[in-house]
Structure 1
Amino acid sequence: MTPPADTAETVEASGPAGARRPRGPSWASRNYSLLTAAAFVTSLGSQGALIAAAFAVLESGGDGGDVGLVAAARTLPLVLFLLIGGAVADRLPRHRVMVAANALNFASQAVFAALVLLGEPQLWQMMLLTGLGGAGQAFFSPAAEGMLMSSVQGEQAGRAFAVFRMAMQGAGLGGAALGGAMVAVIGPGWVLAADAAAFAVAGSLRAFLDVRRIPKRAPGGGLLSDLREGWREFSGRPWLWGVVLQFSVANAVVGAADAVYGPLVARDHLGGAGPWGLALALFGGGTVTGALLMTRWKPRRLLLAGTLCVFPLALPAAALAVPVPIGVLCTAMFLTGVTLEVFGVSWMTALHQEIPEEKLSRVSAYDWFGSVALVPLAMASAGPAEAAFGRGTSLWGCAALVVVVTAAVLCVPDVRNLTRRTGPVSGGTPRADARPGAEDTDRRLIG
């Protein structure tokens, strides 16, 4: 979740008279197309790599606990470095931060693949390499979100974000299926190598981003000063920190339900990994469908529509708590995927519209930090909660928490009233038809 920074680049279609018209939709600038293509490539590789990393641990003699340690080794640096990554991305050219992060991810995955292919990797080696990948992601994500927001202009921003997310979700869905098949046929080492190659390709694409129309940022007062300024921007907007707090809880409990309880329920009641994989595939299909829907639908009250669509996020946990037949669970997962994308596109549009471009990556970092900070704690607590309260009660608790925090955030007036702009964007990237360098001073919420 994030929007604009110093001054946004001008869309190719808004160049001087007589300039060659760009191919494709007017909102699909060259930078946007490069960013979308690169994100598609990395999503395709990364989803398969998640499966490959788990099987690499197991094939080296590890158990479920070791798989969790390797996963935690990636999450911890992500949480620790996100805020610094956001400040760096607003201080340095964002495309260079992205390319450097991709280079780090390429190197760490390539070494991981080599260790798996050449012998039995040690647990500490796998934790170190996945940790480097998490650190790279901490710097990459805020820079990438800021760069994406700066590549989109005008009233078609929502459609552009929907297409971007549709490409990401589609690649993720295909990558998970392809990665699982490749792990079974050729082994996890080659899948990790393919992910490393994907990072190399994506980094090469991002190196061609055109930043000539983005003025250099004025030097700030230092890293800590940048972090404080980002915090003021974040904490001064109740709709922003309210939704981030909501998803701090929602992401944590849904993650625990899907990653810990879901496979156990599938094993005991649904017929094993096959039906659970089908349910996850239906969720992925729902996200693609939701993104497709948002290429056409433009809700006027962005966050009201988006937040109402978070309530179905409680359905999968409730369905697992019963537990319902696999057909009902698949329906719930598909519906959840659709509605979650309605929120995702609405959120990106709100950030693009409201946040000053020069602070976009810092705000994105606070957003990411809040959204993932509780996930490791929830994962670690899932087992003890099941032992103390039972699996069904724990799952009902997950569903209830989603409903409670979502209802609570609707009590924030700005969440209910933030309205889609139809004129020049105030806080975010200037429209394509705006005068370059013109400053819009009205950053108030409408409604």
Structure 2
Amino acid sequence: MRTGRPPQSGFRLLPSYASPTLPAAFRRLAWSNLAAQSAEQIALAASPIIAVLAFGADEGEAGLLQVAQTLPFVLFAIPIGLLADRVSRPGLMAGAEALRVVSLVAIIACAAGGWLNLPVLALLGFVGACGTVGYSVAAPALVPALVRPQQLPAANSRIELARTVAFMAGPALGGALVGWAGVSFAFGCAAALSVAAVLLLLGVREPGRPAAVLGRQPLRDIAEGARFVFTHPLLRPIFVTQIVFNTAFFVVLAVFVPYAVRHLGLSAAGIGIVLAAYGAGMIAGALLSPRLVHGLRFGTVLGLGPVAGFAASAVLALTIWLPWPWLAGFGWLLLGIGPIQWTISTTTLRQLVTPADLLGRVSAINITSYGARPLGAAIGAGVGAVAGAETALLLAAFLFLAQAAMVWVSPLVRLKERPAMAA
């Protein structure tokens, strides 16, 4: 049984950053990821806009909708991670994305029949999020099987660049499609993208994995993955930091749409444009990532994202006194630029230090940090309903400050280079 501790002799360092040509199977995965992320972002952007403008949802109700759309990360990440170490990961991802197609088509059918309301929208959002969890858990575990260790930084940058394109285009499309063409057309576009993601996955073949990972006791397998994460000196602070980051981020997300409508005076299309600045920042950050990895210590790159997250939250809080839409957009831009460095670098680090037969479970443990999302959404909903969205934004800024401090007192910022691939 593994202890989860790195070799006592220290980390063996990889060669300097390189960006070799990535295999065709990985490129199909990257395109599938782009389609899946775009579908998710269109639906996530459209749902609260519909809730506020069509059903009159307030801050509390909008926050509860966010809870429903994030709760599956708490409930199902660990079981799906165990499954990802036992079955075909491309097949698991295709099935998960197909589930999201079902939820999107059901929303369209309910809207056409006049049955769509806030509880139905929340329930179907929960179903779609179950598909998101399956895709999100299996994808990072699949990447190291498709590329060489030296290609992991380039591959993760490509995956995150696809996700950032979705974050930039998805909110704008979601807001615009709801405002211009209605509910059914917006969710129809999302469903079409999910179908494309499934079809692209059908051409991805995963190399065979050792049969030794099969036939074990499920609870023992889950405990092995958890023990590896929580005893590892690098993975443990990553996990804790992500819990605080996700809590803070979803405090903001839970209240921002009603806050933007009532305090900033934005329309549905305007909200989409402001939120699209987050995706634009992520694209800029993903494009900068190779230069930063090459020019800075690896630990410094790991520390930049949390600091940028705090700076962004401070700018968003500033709109309480300066209600300028462009200032809110700048806050979302900063929130995209910095944390994407954290995502790319910590994903690469996790893939390098984790043995191949543990990747699914370790990825799932990482995804369970997303369980802080419904907590953050619930906190945002409660604070927004009782004390107003302004108080929720100030609370989020404090939480962003806390997660930045956690990283800078951890061993992460002392890393000079990327560690070598685990045996």
| Among 41, 51, 57, the residue aligned to 2:45 | 51
Tell me, in whole angstroms, the C-alpha distance in 2 between the residues paired with 1:287 and 1:349. 17
* Larger gyration radius, structure 1 or structure 2: 1
Tell me, in whole angstroms, the C-alpha distance in 2 between the residues paired with 1:390 and 1:50. 23
1:336–1:91 distance in 2 versus 1, CA, 3 Å: same
Structure 2 match to 1:19: none
What letter corresponds to residue 82 of structure 2 in structure 1?
A
Tell me, in whole angstroms, the C-alpha distance in 1 between the residues paired with 2:110 and 2:191. 13
**Residue 40 of structure 1 pairs with residue 34 of structure 2:** yes
What letter corresponds to residue 50 of structure 1 in structure 2?
L
1:317–1:275 distance in 2 versus 1, CA, 3 Å: farther
Gaps of 5+ in 1: 1-24, 428-439, 441-447
What letter corresponds to residue 375 of structure 1 in structure 2?
R
| Among 103, 106, 131, the residue aligned to 1:108 | 103
State the 1:113 CA deviation: 1.4
State the 1:306 CA deviation: 1.7
| Among 371, 374, 381, the residue aligned to 2:372 | 374
User: Hey, which of these two has a bigger chunk of helix by percent?
Assistant: 2
| Among 149, 154, 162, the residue aligned to 1:154 | 149
**Residue 405 of structure 1 pairs with residue 403 of structure 2:** yes
| Among 313, 326, 345, the residue aligned to 1:317 | 313
State the 1:145 CA deviation: 1.6
Moved more, 64-73 or 173-182: 64-73
Structure 2 match to 1:138: 133
State the 1:350 CA deviation: 0.8
What pairs with 1:161-180 in structure 2 (closer than 5 Å)?
161-180=156-175
Moved more, 178-187 or 56-65: 56-65
Structure 2 match to 1:7: none
Tell me, in whole angstroms, the C-alpha distance in 2 between the residues paired with 1:261 and 1:123. 18
1:42–1:392 distance in 2 versus 1, CA, 3 Å: closer
1:139–1:278 distance in 2 versus 1, CA, 3 Å: closer
Q: What SS is found at the alignment partner of 1:190?
A: helix
Q: What SS is found at the alignment partner of 2:293?
A: coil
State the 1:366 CA deviation: 1.0
Gaps of 5+ in 2: 1-18
Tell me, in whole angstroms, the C-alpha distance in 2 between the residues paired with 1:385 and 1:129. 25
State the 1:359 CA deviation: 0.8
Q: What SS is found at the alignment partner of 2:105?
A: helix
**Residue 385 of structure 1 pairs with residue 383 of structure 2:** yes
Tell me, in whole angstroms, the C-alpha distance in 1 between the residues paired with 2:397 and 2:381. 17
CA contact (8 A) 2:161 2:283 kept: yes
Deviations 1:244-263 (A, max 9, x none): 21121122123212431575
1:292–1:359 distance in 2 versus 1, CA, 3 Å: same
Tell me, in whole angstroms, the C-alpha distance in 2 between the residues paired with 1:418 and 1:302. 5
Deviations 1:47-89 (A, max 9, x none): 2222333355567646345544443223222311111111111
Structure 2 match to 1:255: 250
Q: What SS is found at the alignment partner of 2:71?
A: helix
State the 1:172 CA deviation: 2.7
What is the Cα-based RMSD across aligned positions, in Å?
Answer: 2.7
Deviations 1:67-114 (A, max 9, x none): 444432232223111111111111112112111112211122212211
State the 1:390 CA deviation: 6.7
Structure 1 match to 2:230: 235
Deviations 1:33-56 (A, max 9, x none): 011110111222222222333355
1:375–1:232 distance in 2 versus 1, CA, 3 Å: same
Structure 2 match to 1:286: 281
CA contact (8 A) 2:306 2:403 kept: no
What pairs with 1:200-239 in structure 2 (closer than 5 Å)?
200-212=195-207, 214-216=209-211, 218-239=213-234
Tell me, in whole angstroms, the C-alpha distance in 2 between the residues paired with 1:378 and 1:155. 36
Structure 2 match to 1:90: 85
Structure 2 match to 1:190: 185
CA contact (8 A) 2:141 2:360 kept: yes
Q: Percent identity?
A: 28
CA contact (8 A) 1:73 1:128 kept: yes
Moved more, 289-298 or 401-410: 401-410
State the 1:369 CA deviation: 0.8
Aligned length: 399
1:365–1:208 distance in 2 versus 1, CA, 3 Å: same
Tell me, in whole angstroms, the C-alpha distance in 1 between the residues paired with 2:329 and 2:181. 29
Deviations 1:344-367 (A, max 9, x none): 111112112111111111111111
TM (norm. structure 1) is 0.80
Tell me, in whole angstroms, the C-alpha distance in 2 between the residues paired with 1:125 and 1:411. 44
